[in-house]
Amino acid sequence: MFKIRFRTVRFVFIAYIVLIFQASLINLISFKNCKPDLVLLSVIFFGLYNGPRRGTWCGLGLGLCLDVLSSAGFGVNGVILGFIGYFSGLLQERVYATHFLTHILVPFAAGILQVFLYYVLAANFYRVLAISESLIFIAGYVAYTAAINIIFFKILDRLVILRTTKLTI
């Protein structure tokens, strides 16, 4: 018999909301045509809090859903976000997940890795601009994604992590 945990249902619900927001409402918080990648931040969050195996599956699942919604070659985002989920999961025991610098540096490094892998993989499927031509856009995208992550991690932390509260009388 297949057993569904409440944690899994919550992850699927949050992933669905993040995908809908990324696909349709992200323009509301764009800044000078730079949009944060909330799917990348979700993968980093679930990798940091759940380890490399679940981080990889989260990255693959969200990446393939993102591939369905985008015009990129099918599987490119799945592979890239799967790698990022795995590497974020490897950091689970090496960094303090709730520290302010972790919320800035890990998404910054993951954003740079995502752009690099995207250029390596997508160049085989279709014509992309050279990195030197879009360096300012890439820097803005990575910096804005890292900055939004401070708020985004707080929201996900409240939604995902089960907190035990003690009532004192």
Domains in the chain and their CATH numbers?
A: 6-160 (1.10.1760)
Q: Tell me the average pLDDT across 101-105.
A: 78
Spell out the residues 6+ positions from residue 12 whose beta carbon is closer than 8 angstroms to its own. none
The model's pTM is: 0.80
Please say whether the dihedral angle defined by the alpha carbons of residues 154, 95, 40 and 148, taken in this order, is positive or negative: positive
Q: How far is residue 151's CA from residue 153's CA, in Å, rounded to a whole number?
A: 6
Half-sphere CA count of 103, side-chain side, radius 13 A = 14
Query: Is a pLDDT exceeding 70 seen at residue 25?
Result: yes
Query: The tokens of 132 are what?
Result: 């030197």
What pLDDT is recorded for position 21?
84
Segment 117-135 shows an average pLDDT of: 71
Question: Does pLDDT of 85 surpass 60?
Answer: yes
Q: In this predicted structure, what is the pLDDT of residue 78?
A: 86
CA-based torsion, 130, 24, 147, 102: positive or negative: negative
Reported confidence tier of residue 86, pLDDT bands at 50, 70, 90: very high
